[in-house]
Structure 1
Amino acid sequence: MSDNITRSTAHNVLRMEKNPLEVMFKPRSVAVVGATERPGSVARTILWNLISTSFGGTIFPVNPKYNSILGIKAYPSIGDIPDPVDLAVIVTPAPSVPAIIEECVAAGCHAAIIISAGFKETGPAGAALEQEILKIARRGNMRIIGPNCLGVMNPITGLNATFASTMARPGSVGFISQSGALLTAILDWSFAENVGFSAFVSIGSMLDVGWGDLIYYLGDDPNTKAIVMYMESIGDARSFLSAAREVALTKPIIVIKPGRTEEAAKAAASHTGSLTGGDEVLAAAFRRSGVLRVDSISDLFNMAEVLSKQPRPRGPRLSIVTNAGGPGVLATDALITNGGQLAPISDEAMAAYNKLLPAPWSHNNPIDILGDADAGRYAESIKIAINDHDSDGTLVILTPQAMTNPTETARALVDQFARPAGHVYGKPILASWMGGPEVSSGKDMLNKANIPTFDYPDTAARIFNYMWRYQRRLTALYQTPEMAQDFGETGFKHYLIKEMLEQIRATGRTILTEYESKQVLEAYDIPTTPTRLAGSADEAAAIAAEIGFPVVVKLNSETITHKTDVGGVRLDLTNADEVRNAFLTMEKAVAEKYSPRDFLGVTVQPMLRLHDGYELILGSSPDPQFGPVVLFGTGGTLVEVFKDRALAIPPLNTTLARLTMTRTKIYEALKGVRGRPPVDLAELDKIFVRFSQLVIEQRWIKEIDINPLFASHEQLIALDGRVVLYEPEVTEDQLPRLAIRPYPTNYVKQFNNKGGEAFVLRPIRPEDEPKMVQFHEKLSEQSVYLRYFRAFKLDQRVEHERLTRICYVDYDRTIALVVEHTDPATAETAIVAVARLTRLPNPEEAEFAMLVRDDFQGRGVGTQLLQNLLDFGRDEGIKRVVAFMLPENRGMIEISEKLGFAMGREDEMVKAVKEL
C-alpha cells in the first residue's frame, strides 16, 4: 500500500479558504454606520473617501436621520440593507457600538472597523464595553479592527476606509501603526519620498485583530514585499512572535518602537529581577522572531525598500566606490562606528584597478576613482568591486563634478546592475547621488531600476549595517542546533521537583533554601557542588571531616536570601574548630539581625580550588508581556554594577543559547584570552538550554538565578542558586503565559505495528534537520511526485533554507509529527514518516499532509501516524480537517477512508474531509 501523501499546504490554503481578514482589505460592499453630511466630520470624510476612489464596491450609508447622504440612499440600520454587507465601518458614540455589532452579526456581516473612541482608554467602563463587543463578535465569527483607529487603506484596489485626507500611493510595503496621528504624518511624508504601500492600517487598541493577525495576512499577500510597523504596545505576545517567526523567513518585518530607555526595575529577591528592563525584553523578542528594529522613521522605510529590492549581504564588508575623498570618509566613519568593515581589496581586484584607473587613485578602500571619472570608469570599477570575493556589498558615491555626468553614470549602472541582472552577483548595490537638481534624473533612474539611492553616503552605510546584521541574525537564528537533551523522556525527576515546590508554597513560603535550590538544579542536570545540611555545630564539623577539608559553610535559611548580609558565607575552613565557629557566628548574627527562627543551620560543601575561570550568571524573571525571560552574563558580587548580560525568550536550543551568549562582553573571554584555554562552550550551551527548560516547566518559580556559575577550561559548576516562588495566593491561571510554546512532550508516544516493529512518534524539532536529509534520500521519484505534484530534485528538497521551515515549527500553529524507527541490526535511529496538521485561516480548521518512506509503506506506519495526528488536532481545538490528493494515490485514499474521511472530487483532485 502506498500510504503516502497529501497535497502541499500553501496550494491547499489557496484553494480552500481566504484569510478572514481578506474582507477588510477587499470587500465587495461597505456600510458606513453613522454616516452624515456634516462638513468636516469623520463620518462624512470616510464616506467621501470610499466613494471618490477607484474602490468600485457598493457603499451603504447607515443613519436613521437621513434618506440619502452625498446622493446615496441611506438605511436606518445594517439590518435594513437588502444586500449582503462584507465590511461595516462604525463611526458612532462608544455606548452605541455593542448594539450595532449585534446587528452586524445578525445580518451576516463579516468584519468591522470601529473608528470610534471612548473605550478602554477612558477607564473600566470603556474596557467593559470592549469585552461586550468582543463577545458578540465572536459569536458571529466576525473580525474587528480598532476601536479608536484611523481605518484601513488598500492602495492596490483603491479602498480608503479612513478619515485621512489623501489616499496612499500603491506600492509593496504593508504598513501597520498603533498611532493614527503618526499614520497621517507618514502618509504625508510618503508622497515627498515617493513611497508606495500595499496596505495602510491603523490598528487602534487591538480589541480583536492584533499584530499577529495582520502579519499573517500581509505575509500571504502577494502585493506585500515588506512589512513595517510602528508599535506602542505588543498586545498578544505569543500571537505576535508566532506570526513574526514564520513570516520573517520570507518577508522582512521592520519595527520602530519608542521607549528604549530602561525603566527602574522593582527590587527583587533575585539578581535577575533587577537586571531586566521592559524594552530589553522586547528587543530579545524581536531577535528571537527575526524582526528588525530601527531607530527612525526614515530607516524604517529605507530598510523596507532595500530589503525588497536588493539581495542581503553575507557579511559586514563594504566596498565604497567614489569620485571624491570626503564623502568616502563620511561613509567609512558611519560604517565602522556601527560595526561594519571596509572590504579588503584582493590581489586580483588590486591588479584590475591598477590597470583601469589613473595612477593617483586611492589604492585602498574607499576606492577613490578620482573626480574626472566618467560613466565607463564608474561601471568598470563597480564591476571589479562587486566581483571581489572579499566584498559583501558595494556603495557607489557620486558628487557632481565637471567630468562626471550623473545621468549617464546612472544609466551605465542600470544597464549592468539593475534587477534581475544585479542579483546574479548575490550582493547588494547601494548608491548615494549627492546634490540637488543636477543629480535628480540619475537618482530617479536608479530608483526605478531597484538600485536604492540615498542623499548622504553615511545614511547608505548605516543602512548597509542594518542589512548585514539582519541577514546574519536570520542565518544564525535558523542554524541547525545540536541535541541538548532527550525530549522523549517524561522526566520523573522534574515531576518530583514540581511536587516539592507545591509543598513549599503550601506552607506559605516563597524562598527556597540554598539546599532546595540546588536540588532543583540537579534535577535538570546542572552541575552543582555537593551540599549537605547540618543542624548543629558538631554535626557541621563531622560532615566537614567526612567531606575533607578545606570546606565552605553557608547559612541555611528559609527567609534570608542574600547570605552576605549576615556573614552567611565562610570560605576555606581548614579544621573542625573553624567550622564550629562559623556555625555559631552565623547563628548569633541571624538572631541579632532577624530572629532565631530564621536560622535553620548551615550547609557544608567542599572548598573547590577554582583557577583561571570566570563567574557567570544564569537567571530568569517574569515579564508582564512575554512571561519568563532568561538571562546570561557576567556574575559575581558586582553583577548589578557591570550589567554585562543578554536576555532571551525561552525555550532555547543550543543555537539560540549560543546567540544569546555572544551578545555579552564575557563571551570573548570564554573563548580563551591571554593564555587561558577556552571554556567548554558546547557544554555551556547545553546547561543554558537545560536551565531554560527548567524555567518553562517549573511554572511556580517566579525568579531564579545561578550566581555564580563558575566556568573554566576544566569545569562548569553552579556554586550558588537562588529560587523565589510565586505567592501562595497566585493560582495557576494567573501565571504569566509563555510567549513561545515549548516542545509538546505530551505528544511523544511509542507504538508497535502488527508485525511487532517498535516505533516512536513525536513532534518534529529543529535538531531533526540531518535526519530529514537522510529521510529524503530514501524517497522514490514516485513518492516525491505524489507529494509535490512535480519533479522535485533531492538537492532542492534538502536545502537548509527549506528544511528550516519544516523543522522550525510553531507548535501553536502547526502540529508536525515524525515517526522514528531504530534498526535492530545497526542500532541507528532514522525518521521514516512525517506528517503535519496546519491550521487554516479559520483556526478551528486544518489541513493535513503526510509522507512515508518507501521502504516503510504498507507496514501500518501511515495509518498510525494519521490517527495520532487527528487525535492531537482534536486536543488542540481543531474541529475540521481536510486534505487534497491525486486520484492515483490509492494508499493515501484508503487510509483516509479507513479513518472516516468523507471523500469527494474537486477539479482533478480527491478531496478528503473529516469533522473531529
Structure 2
Amino acid sequence: MEKILANQVCASDPAHDIWKKQRHPLDCIFRPRSVAVIGASEREGSVGRTLLWNLIRSPFGGTVFPVNPQRHSVLGIKSYTDIASVPEMVDLAVIATPAATVPQVIRECVAAGVKGAIIISAGFKEIGEQGAALEKEVLAEARKGGMRIIGPNCLGLMNPLAGLNATFAGTSARSGNVAFISQSGALCTSILDWSLGENVGFSAFVSIGSMLDVGWGDLIEYLGDDPHTHSIVLYMESIGDAHAFLSAAREVAMDKPIIVLKVGHTEAAAKAAASHTGALTGSDEVLNAAFRRCGVLRVHTISDLFDMAETLAKQPRPKGNRLSIVTNAGGPGAIATDALISGGGTLSELAPETIQKLNQFLPAQWSHHNPIDILGDASSDRYAQTLEVVADDPNSDAMLVILTPQAMTNPTQTAEKLKSYSKLGKPILSSWMGGAEIAAGTEILNQAKIPTFPYPDTAVRLFNYMWHYTYNLKGIYETPSLPVDSDLHAPDRQLAERILAQATKSDRYLLTEYESKNLLAAYGIPTVPTEIATSDIEAVEIADRFGYPVVLKLHSEKITHKTDVGGVRLHLEDAAAVTRAFMGIAAKVRAIDPEAFLGVTVQPMVKMEGYELILGSSLDPQFGEVMLFGMGGQLVEVFRDRALALPPLNTTLARRMMEQTRIYQALQGVRGRKAIDMAKLEQLLVNFSQLVVEQPQIREIDINPLLVSADGMIALDARVVLHTDEDIAQRPIPAITPYPTKYVQCWQSRKGDRVTIRPIRPEDEPLMVQFHQSLSEESVYLRYAHTVKLTKRIAHERLTRICFIDYDREMVLAADYKNPETSEHEILGVARLSKLHGTNEAEFALIVSDHYHHQGLGTELLRRILEIGKEQNLEAIVGYILNSNDPMQSICRRLGFKLQPDPDEGMLKATFVL
C-alpha cells in the first residue's frame, strides 16, 4: 500500500522547527561563535575602536579577534596582522577599513573560511560608478566562498537576546520580540535612543546598508523562522530584489506582522532616497500594490511603525472595519469618528439587543447610538458594564474606550476595572486623555496588553491600519470563486503566440487593432467582431453583412492613435456613408504617410449603454508587469480613477483590485442602472492577467474602452506594444511567480484512469477538504507521525499553506481526476516540495487517498517531484519516513533515495542527491 509519510516545512507542522534543527547561513552573522574586527583601532572616537569595545563589553559568548597590521594589541587584546593569522576559525568578520581595501579583505576572509561579513565602510555605489564597480568586485570575491554580507555603508547589527553588539552605536538595544531593519544607519541610532526611553525591546536590530548581498527577503525569511521574533518592522528607502522581498514577506506575514515605513512617496523624497542609497526608487503606487499583494502593512510615520508593532503584539486583528466607541465626553467621540471615517473605517451600528441592554443601566441621557457617550459622570463600573455589553455586539469588530478625567470618573480605578477585558476575542484600544492624572491608569492598561494612546484620533488611526492589514491578508488567502475546471477558461495560447510571432517576424513592435483584438479573444476576452477591408467595395460588403450602423477605423502598422489622424468614423448608417468614410480616411492618412494606410477595419456600432473602463498592463523596472484597472474613455487621465495590482490574479484579487476604485460602486448599480455581472468582470481580469504573464513579448497593453453593462462586456479598442529583442533580454523578473503550466501533465493509472497531475491552485481548497475526508486514520498517522483531527486538517488557515503557495519557494502537485460518473473533480493524491531556508535543499511530503492505493500514483508523484528538483538545480531532496512505513521506503529505494536512521527524528531519513 502506498501510505506515505514525509514531513513538510510549514507552520502547521510544529514538530518541524528549522530554527533549532539546522544552522542557517545567516547564523554566522546573527549568532557567531567568533568575531574578527578588521580595522580595529585604539584611536578615540574611531569606528574601529567603538566596534571592538561594543563586542567585548557585550557577553555574546564568543571570542573577539582584533585585526590591525600596525598594532600588537588593541584595547589590551592581542591583535593579528591579517585574518589568516587568527588561530581559530572565524564565523563573522566586521570590516571597518577604507572602501578601496575591502575587496582584498574579503578575498582573504574567503581564503580563511569566514562565512559572514558586516561591511561598515562607506564609499561604494552611493558615491557613483567607481563605488559600484568596487561592490561588484567585493560580491564576486564573496561568492567564491559562499560568504554572506550585510552592508556596506551600514551601522552594523545587534542580536540583543544573544548579547551581540556588532555596531558602532553608542548604546546597546534592550532585548524584546520586535525585529527592526533599517537602510538608514543614522535612523537606527535615533530609534535606539528612543527605544531606551520607551522601554521597547528588540530580537534583532539591523542596519542593512546598501544591500550588496543580504537583502530584505533574506532577513524577513530568517527572522520569520526565529521563534523570538513576533513582529518585523522595516525602514525602507529602496526595495532591492523585489521578487525576493515579496516572496519572503508573503510567506511570513500570515504569522508575523511585517510593518514598513517606506520613504519616497513624494517625488522629492524619492530623489533624496535614491541619492542616499545609490538605488532607483520605483513608482509609489506600484509599491502600495506590491505591499497589498504580500500582506505587508505600510505606515507613514516612525511613531506608527512601533505603535503598530506594539498594538498587533497585544491585540488580535479585527475581522472588519466596524468600530464601537465608548466615551465619557462627546467631543473626543466626534474627533474619533472623523478620524475613523476619513481612514475608511465604519462606525458599527448597535444591534437592537445591545441598545436594550445598555438602557437597563445607563442614564436616560446616554447617546443611544455609536459613539456610545456614557456621560461625564461615568464611574468605573459603568465603563466596565458598557464594555462587556458592547463586546458581545455582533456588528462590532473592535472597541475604542475613551476617558477624559472628570470629577466623577477615576482614570486609575477605571483602568483596573477594564484590564480584565483585554482578551475579548476582538481588539480593544484605549485613549486616556490628560497628563499626570491619567498616568497610573495608562500604565495599568499597557501592562494588561490594552494599547493606550493620548489622543483618540491616534488610536483610530491605528485601528484603521489594523483592519487594512486584515483586509490585505484576506485578499491573499481568501479562496477564489473560479470554477476548478480549468477547461472552462483555457486560453488558445498557440493562437496568441502565432499573432505575436508574425508581428516580430515583420520587425513590427506595435500590433494592429485587428491583431490586438484577436490576441484578446485568444484569452477569452470578448471583442467586437472586426474584419479588414482593403477597398471601399470590400468595406461595404462587410458592413452589409454585419448590419448598420457600423464603425470604420484605420488599419495601419505604423499609426498608433487613430483619432489623431482622423482614422475613426462612427455611426455609418448606409453603404454611401461607408464609402465616403473609407475614402476620407485613406486620403487623410496617405497625405501624412502613403505607406501607413493598409485599409480599414469594419465593425458593428455597439449600441450597448454602460460604463467605459480601462484595463491595461505595463512594465515596472522593479516589479515587472503591473496591471491597471479603472475608469476609461477619453478622460482617463483627467479623472485618474485607477487601481494597480501585480499579476497573475485570481477572482479574489481581481475583486480587491476593483474595490480600490470609485467606479467600483457604480458598477454594482446606481441611479436606476442595473448592476453588471461582477463575477464575469472578475473572470475577465483574471484572463487578462494570464495573458500578461504568459506572453512575455508584450511590453504594454491597453483595452480602452472596455464597455461594461448589465447586458454584457466588450473590448471596443486595444493597443499592444511588443518588446524589441534587446528589450526582452533586459526585461525585469516578474515579482510574482506565475502558475507553472509546464508542470501540467496527464498520467494513466494501472487500471486505466486518466489523471491530470498539475500544480495546486488556491481554487483547489474545497477539493482538498474532500481529499482529507477520504483519508483513513492509518494514512493520516503514517503521514504526520501522529493523529491529526479532520477539523484541524481542513481548517482554512492550514489549507492556505498548501493551496496558496509561492511556486518559486515550493511546489505542490495534485493528482486531479474527473469522475466520469459524477463529472466532478477529485484530488487523489498530493506531493509537496518545500525548499529549506538557507540551503539549496528541499523536503518532500506525499500522501495518496486510501481508495487509490496500488495504482502507482505515489511513485509517479514522487518521480515528478524529483524532476522539478533537478530542473531547479537543487542539491538534494530529503524526507522522513516512519520505520513501520515499508511501502514508502520501497518507493524511495526504487527511485534512488538513500535511507538511513535519523536519531533526532526517530525515523528514517530518505535522501536523494541531485
Whether TM exceeds 0.5 here: the answer is: yes
Q: Using the alignment, how far apart are the partners of 2:131 and 2:488 within structure 1?
A: 48
Pairwise CA distance, 1:143: 0.8
Q: What does residue range 371-390 of structure 1 map to in structure 2 within 5 Å?
A: 371-390=376-395
Q: What CA distance in whole angstroms lies between the structure 1 residues aligned with 2:394 and 2:269?
A: 48
Residue of structure 1 in register with 2:818 after alignment: 822
Q: Distance in 2 between matches of 1:586 and 1:824?
A: 56
CA distance in 1, matches of 2:216, 2:144: 22
Structure 1 residue aligned with 2:574:
575
Aligned to 1:80: 85
Aligned residue in 2 for 1:653 = 650
- Answering whether residue 478 of structure 2 is matched by residue 455 of structure 1, we say no
The one-character-per-residue Cα deviations of 1:846-885 (angstroms, maximum 9, x if unpaired) are 1111111111122211011001100111101111111112
Q: Contact 2:47–2:96 (CA<8 Å) still a contact in 1?
A: yes
1:41 to 46, 56, 61: 46
In 2, the alpha carbon distance for the partners of 1:874 and 1:162 equals: 41
Give the conservation status (yes or no) of the 8 Å contact 2:35–2:90.
yes
Contact 1:8 / 1:787 at 8 angstroms: preserved in 2?
no
Question: Which residue identity is paired with 1:715?
Answer: G
> Which residue of 1 is the match for residue 430 of structure 2?
431
**1:819-898 aligned within 5 A:** 819-898=815-894
Measure, in 1, the Cα distance between the counterparts of 2:342 and 2:7.
Answer: 50
Deviation per CA, 1:494-545: give whole Å up to 9, x if none. 2343243233234332211111111211111111111111112222122222
Letter in 2 for 1:684: L
Residue 276 of structure 2 aligns with which residue?
none
Q: 2 CA distance for matches of 1:667 and 1:827?
A: 36
Counterpart in the other structure of 1:906: 902
CA distance in 2: counterparts of 1:360 and 1:713, whole angstroms: 49
Q: Which moved more, 1:474-483 or 1:742-751?
A: 474-483
Q: Which moved more, 1:353-362 or 1:84-93?
A: 353-362
- Measure, in 1, the Cα distance between the counterparts of 2:839 and 2:348: 49
Contact kept in structure 2, 1:263 and 1:277, CA below 8 Å: no
- Structure 1 residue 599 and structure 2 residue 597: aligned? yes
CA offset digits 1:115-143 (Å, max 9, x no partner): 11111122222222212222222221211
Residue 698 of structure 2 contacts residue 722 of structure 2 at CA under 8 Å; is this kept in 1?
yes
Task: Please tell me the residue identity of whatever aligns with 1:303.
Answer: M
Q: Aligned letter for 2:42?
A: E
Aligned to 1:443, the other structure's residue is in SS state helix
Secondary structure (helix, strand or coil) at the match of 1:144 reads strand
Tell me the amino acid that sits aligned with residue 313 of structure 2: S
Partner of 1:333 in structure 2?
A: 338
1:285 — aligned with what?
A: 290
Matches of 2:527 and 2:484 in 1, distance apart? 18
Aligned: 1:692 with 2:689: yes
Report the equivalent of 1:183.
188
Q: State the shift of 1:299 in Å.
A: 0.9
Residue 270 (structure 1) aligns with = none
Query: Separation in 2 of the partners of 1:564 and 1:322?
Result: 60
- Partner of 1:161 in structure 2? 166
**Which of 786, 793, 796 is the equivalent residue of 1:797?**
793
Structure 1: tracts of 5 or more residues without a match: 266-275
Segment drifting more, 188-197 vs 649-658: 188-197
Paired with 2:523 and 2:55, the residues of 1 have a C-alpha distance of 60
Q: Indicate conservation of the 8 Å contact 1:230/1:255, yes or no.
A: yes
Counterpart CA distance in 1 for 2:608 and 2:365 is 59
Equivalents in 2 of 1:350, 1:492: separation in Å? 55
Q: Distance in 1 between matches of 2:812 and 2:673?
A: 45
Contact 1:484 1:653 in 2 (8 A): no
Pick closer, same or farther for the CA change 1:714–1:359 going to 2, 3 Å: closer
**Partner of 2:709 in structure 1?**
712
Q: Secondary structure at the match of 2:452?
A: coil
Provide the rounded CA distance (Å) in 2 between the counterparts of 1:548 and 1:398.
72
Which deviations, in whole Å up to 9, do the C-alpha atoms of 1:876-897 show, x marking residues without a partner? Answer: 1111111112111222111111
Classify 1:762/1:832 alpha carbon distance in 2 versus 1 (closer, same or farther; 3 Å).
same
SS in 2 for 1:306: helix
The 3-state SS of whatever aligns with 1:394 is strand
Aligned identity (percent) is 59
Change in Cα spacing, 1:890 to 1:700, as seen in structure 2 (3 Å) is: same
CA offsets, 1:296-347, max 9 Å, x none?
A: 1111111111111101111222222222222222212211221222222223
Q: Which moved more, 1:3-12 or 1:773-782?
A: 3-12
In 2, the alpha carbon distance for the partners of 1:334 and 1:70 equals 56
Equivalent residue for 1:630, pick from 616, 627, 631: 627
Matching residue of 1:4: 4
Residue 187 of structure 2 aligns to which amino acid in structure 1?
A: L
Q: Do the aligned partners of 2:3 and 2:782 also contact (CA within 8 Å) in 1? A: no
1:417 to 417, 421, 426: 421
Rounded to whole Å, the distance in 2 between the matches of 1:387 and 1:130 is 59
Separation of aligned partners in 1, 2:723 and 2:268: 23
Per mean C-alpha deviation after superposition, the further-off stretch among 180-189 and 282-291 is 180-189
Aligned to 1:538: 537
- Out of 130, 137, 145, the position equivalent to 1:140 is 145
Aligned-pair CA distance for 1:833? 0.7
SS at the partner of 2:209? coil
Q: Is 1:501–2:500 an aligned residue pair?
A: yes
- For 1:478, the equivalent position in structure 2 comes to 477
CA shift at 1:350, angstroms?
A: 2.1
Specify the code of the residue in structure 2 equivalent to 1:815.
M
Shift of 1:366: 2.2
Q: How does 1:722-801 map to 2 (within 5 A)?
A: 722-730=719-727, 732-801=728-797
- The alpha-carbon distance between structure 1 residues 277 and 914, as it changes in their structure 2 partners (threshold 3 A), is closer
Q: Which amino acid aligns with 2:223?
A: L
- How many angstroms apart in 2 are the aligned matches of 1:308 and 1:651? 32
Is there any run of 5+ residues in structure 2 with no aligned partner, and where? 271-280
Cα distance change on mapping 1:826 and 1:331 into 2, 3 Å: closer
Shift of 1:22: 2.2
Q: How many residues align?
A: 897
Output the CA distance in 2 between the equivalents of 1:630 and 1:127. Answer: 32
Paired with 1:277 and 1:884, the residues of 2 have a C-alpha distance of 44
Contact 2:178–2:232 (Cα < 8 Å) also in 1: yes
8 Å Cα contact 1:29-1:85 kept in structure 2: yes
* 8 A contact 1:303–1:463 mirrored in 2: yes
Contact between 1:483 and 1:654, CA under 8 Å: does it hold in 2? Answer: yes
CA distance in 1, matches of 2:518, 2:835: 41
What is aligned with 1:518? 517
Most deviating of 517-526 and 3-12: 3-12
Given that 2:3 and 2:779 are in contact with CA atoms closer than 8 Å, whether structure 1 keeps it comes out as no
Q: Secondary structure at the match of 1:598?
A: coil
Relative to the length of structure 2, the TM-score reads 0.95
- Letter aligned with residue 901 of structure 1: F
Q: What is the deviation of 1:603?
A: 0.5
Aligned to 1:208: 213
**Alpha-carbon distance change, 13 to 172 in structure 1, aligned in 2, over 3 angstroms:** closer
Look up the match of 2:275: none
Q: Does 1:18 align with 2:23?
A: yes
Q: Tell me if the contact between 1:262 and 1:278 (Cα under 8 Å) persists in the aligned partners.
A: no
Counterpart AA for 2:593: S
SS at match of 1:710: strand
Q: CA deviation at 1:264?
A: 14
Q: How much does 1:667 deviate? A: 1.1
Give me the whole-angstrom Cα distance separating, in 2, the residues matched to 1:544 and 1:824: 46
Matched, 1:619 2:624: no
> After alignment, is 329-338 or 8-17 more displaced?
8-17
Q: Secondary structure at the match of 2:846?
A: strand
Q: Secondary structure at the match of 1:431?
A: strand
Quote the Cα distance in structure 1 between the aligned partners of 2:694 and 2:837. Answer: 30
Question: What is the CA RMSD across the aligned residues, in angstroms?
Answer: 2.0
Trace 1:342-361 onto structure 2 (pairs within 5 A).
342-361=347-366
The answer to whether the 8 A contact 1:477-1:656 is kept is yes
1:301 aligns with 2:306: yes
